[in-house]
Amino acid sequence: MKSVRLEYPLGLLCRVFDVSRSGFYAALDRPPSQRAQDDERLKVAIKAAHVQTRETYGPLRLQPELVAQGFDAGRDRIVRLRRELGLRCKQKRKFKATTNSSHSFPVAPNLLEQSFAPTRPNEAWVSESPTVRPASVARPQGGEAA
């Protein structure tokens, strides 16, 4: 009723929700219940545990963490409070293969022939990036170009 109180007359809201005017005003002045107070404390603990666990723990794994901190709450209560807070776990991404081995492109020749012991500097280049493409793996035997 509080959220739509300014949009509709109070008499209409009281009739729709079957509440007396005096009951509505009494509820405004009433302090939060013990359960509402416990929920607020538990929300703070859930937020802290969510960050502490790198946003990966769901309610089943989060419950023992909260019990260890002194918050005895059931799984469904944790689910409800997490939903109210808008907290969700990071989902594990599905593996996606990025290599297409069945292509018709030419395969580079194996110039090293499994010989990983070069005899002189600049004889063999190694790279993990497919963008580094030297003109040839072995340098020519003649003089170096300046």
DSSP H helices, 8-33, are: 10-17, 21-29
Q: What is the mean pLDDT of residues 127-136?
A: 60
Q: What is the 3-state secondary structure (H, E, C) of 94-145?
A: CCCCCCCCCCCCCCCCCCCCCCCCCCCCCCCCCCCCCCCCCCCCCCCCCCCC
Query: Is residue 7 classed exposed, middle or buried when 0-12, 13-18 and 19+ CB atoms within 10 A define those classes?
Result: exposed
- The verdict on pTM exceeding 0.85 is no
* The pLDDT value given to residue 133: 57
pLDDT tens, position by position, 4-53: 889 999 999 999 999 999 999 998 889 999 999 999 999 999 999 999 99
